[in-house]
Chains A and B, each alone.
Chain A
Amino acid sequence: MAALRVIQKLARTVPARCLAASRMSSQASTMSAGHPVSEVVMPLTVLSEDEQMMRDSVAKFAKEKIGPFVREMDRNSKMDDSVLQGLFENGLMGVEVEAEYGGTDSTFFSSCLVVEELARVDPAVAVLVDIQNTLIVTSLRLHGTEEQKHKYLPRLATDTVGSFCLSESESGSDAFALKTRADKKGDYWVLNGSKMWISNSEQAGLFLVFANADSSQGYKGISTFLVDRDTPGLTIDKHEDKLGIRASSTCPVHFEDVKIPENHLLGTLGHGYKYAIGLLNEGRIGIAAQMVGLAQGCFDYAVPYTMERKQFGQSIFNFQSMQHQISEIATEIEAARLLVYNAARLREAGHPFIKQAAMAKFYAAEVAAKTTAKSIEWMGGVGFTKDYPVEKFYRDCKIGAIYEGTNNIQLSTIARYLKQEWQQ
């Protein structure tokens, strides 16, 4: 049974595009100029048939079912219920969850594609889906017992939103300085503390909480706990009034003598810090995908405008300086996308990927910031008004350099790997 599961997992992670590659390889090897190739590796931006179908399906859904609500959700700082329901109904909340648990039964790369397509329309919706898939679902799939998986994975795939509770008011980048305590009392754990900046918390039914079960061990006491929303003692405070991604709820979450049964410990006691690092290393590829989608969505709005807008007798796109700026941004978005896709493929294929993931997240956040700033400039006065969507993308992108590891943390991570590479 376990062996079958392993085989199934392997079968799913082998990119289906390799099969597509073998279909095309006979053509490709005769088309290539002179050098026959024994195996054809597909370009990063060429997707397998399923991936393409999923992307098209999500793009259509996002445009028709999320698009009309974006401005209102941003204005009211509230996610629309029909949007949330649509995400579940279309299988976007459990992309990697196996079919036996009611999920989509697809790959990590597919979840990145989903996040990217959603971010083109609304980055706030994209981050909700990203957290659900890359942090909550992944932690259960990697560290959950069969019982926990059976209990939570079907719910996460069909109707329950999850929240990742790590940060506190005194511990952001220094995540392991967290102070939330978990005390063992007989068959129960009792959690006490306060978490800050928790995304999805207004909608969440399940909270993944990092708390220290043994502070004498320092960060090696940090453990992961599953807390249901209706557990007494858990309160969710009013959401923050944010600059961007306003439709994504971000609230303080308080734990006052929250009692949870001992089988709500996720994984091994004291390994929480390892889990958090591992999850965030992957999760930031999803955030990078969100930033790429954001940049593309903004760009796709601004550029056609420049072709329609006429000044001095011609469309402003014709001016060389405009063309140069636009081309440079187009190149950077493509580069960011390649970093994201490659990091995702590396991770899927079981290769080392942490340096590339950090690069992807850092670069994509920077590109999103540049793209949105330039897009407003290209659109001139109208870009500066709320009647047009670019100002929202401009506000939304700022968080990309901050959450799931600030850009400075990413750069330090990359430096660490570079140091390792050069210190042979």
Chain B
Amino acid sequence: MRPSGMRRLFHYVITLGYASAALSAQFCKMANLRVLVGVKRVIDYAVKIRVKPDNSGVVTDGVKHSMNPFCEIAMEEAVRLKEKKIAKEIIAVSCGPTQAQETIRTALAMGADRGIHVEVSGKEYENMTPLHVSKILAKLAQDQEASLVILGKQSIDGDNNQTGQMTAALLDWPQATFASEVTKENDHLKVIREIDGGLETVKVTLPAVITADLRLNEPRYATLPNIMKAKKKKIAKHKAADFGVDLSPTLEVLSVEDPPVRQAGQKVETTEELVTKLKDSGVI
């Protein structure tokens, strides 16, 4: 080959080298995401809830518990990101009593790489609120150098719908809540949110907090082989104090009551009769 040809070839090789290095650096950045997923142990959705006789709360002893359905969806999204090689590592975290470890194990069986259990039990657990949890998650996200925190939009016991938003605020990270679709585009995420008026598309830069809504995905079953493999994955144990979080109650629950029993309706034959009945009962 002539010298100039050699030089050109050399040039191409070098350019190719830079290009692939740049691409792989981008790729590495893409596949570098460490994802923190919050999973909460709640009373199973199919269980009939009973209020305690002293109205202090609901009966939890001996009642079937499982992972909050929205946390399952959050976990599934994280696993899909890992399968698409966007996420590198998934950490499942739960704040609660010893039994919360069962929920973390389910997350491990779904595909999380390791777990963190922040042990909170007894009275402290009863008084724990989204603000406490958000403070813990925020500190964890920083300690673990996570670039993405995915949570369920709300838990089916508290129905607070606060933890995701508070965590983002404490971290000063952007948030995309009620996500029904998450796509990675270059260095940001495009998230479609379910809002009252329909769908809203937002762009969030990383690091960010996402909360999962119902239609984001359909969570996989923990297959039996994965349940067995999850036994080898580690769960690190901590206390809230390890993260400098004080669990003193900020709210006091005064009473928990059943919703009013549904009254039987009445059928009427004419509109006039309807109006008369409404007037008689003082509704109008």
Q: Chain A: residues with CB nearer than 8 A to chain B? A: 49-50, 52-54, 56-58, 60-61, 89-92, 95, 99, 102-106, 110, 114
Contacts and interface: CB of A to CB of B under 8 A. Distances in A.
A60 B224 contact: no
Interface stretch (B32-40, B54-62, B166-174, B225-233): B225-233
Given A56-B66, A89-B223, A105-B225, 16 more contacts: A49-B102, A49-B105, A50-B231, A53-B102, A53-B105, A54-B224, A57-B109, A57-B223, A57-B224, A90-B223, A90-B224, A91-B225, A99-B228, A104-B225, A104-B228, A105-B228
Contacts of A92: 224
Contact of A106 (B105, B109, B221, B224): B224
Contact of B228 (A61, A102, A106): A106
Contacts of B109: 53, 57
A60 B227 CA distance: 14
Contacts, number: 49
Interface of B: 66, 102, 105-106, 109, 221-229, 231
A247 B66 CA distance: 32
B106 A53 contact: yes
28 contacts: A49-B102, A49-B105, A50-B227, A50-B231, A52-B102, A53-B102, A53-B105, A54-B224, A57-B222, A57-B223, A57-B227, A58-B224, A60-B221, A90-B221, A90-B223, A90-B224, A91-B224, A91-B226, A92-B224, A103-B225, A104-B223, A104-B224, A104-B225, A104-B228, A105-B225, A105-B228, A110-B224, A114-B224
B221 A61 contact: yes
B72 to A, nearest CB: 10
A57 B227 CA distance: 9
A61 B226 CA distance: 15
The majority secondary structure among interface residues of chain A is: helix
- A-B pairs, top 6 by smallest CB distance, nearest first, are A91-B224, A104-B224, A91-B225, A104-B225, A90-B223, A91-B223
A348 B235 CA distance: 29
Which of B66, B109, B224 neighbours the largest number of chain A CB atoms within 10 Å of its CB?
B224
Contacts of A53: 102, 105-106, 109, 222, 227
Nearest to B106: A53
Nearest to B98: A23
The majority secondary structure among interface residues of chain B is: helix
Contacts of B228: 50, 99, 104-106
A325 B229 CA distance: 44
Contacts of B66: 56
A91 B226 CA distance: 9
Contacts of B106: 53
A250 to B, nearest CB: 27
Contacts of A105: 225, 228
A54 B225 contact: no
Which of B105, B109, B222 neighbours the largest number of chain A CB atoms within 10 Å of its CB?
B222
B280 to A, nearest CB: 29
Contacts of A89: 223
Contacts of B229: 99
Contacts of A91: 223-226
A56 B41 CA distance: 14
A18 B69 CA distance: 31
Nearest to A57: B222
Which of B102, B106, B227, B231 neighbours the largest number of chain A CB atoms within 10 Å of its CB?
B227
A57 B221 contact: yes
Contact of A99 (B221, B222, B225): B225
B3 to A, nearest CB: 57
Nearest to B218: A64
A296 to B, nearest CB: 15
A104 B230 CA distance: 12
Contacts of A95: 224
A107 B137 CA distance: 37
Contacts of A56: 66
A95 B109 CA distance: 16
Contacts of A114: 224
A90 B223 CA distance: 4
Nearest to B224: A91
Contacts of A110: 224
Contacts of B221: 57, 60-61, 90
Nearest to B101: A49
A13 to B, nearest CB: 14
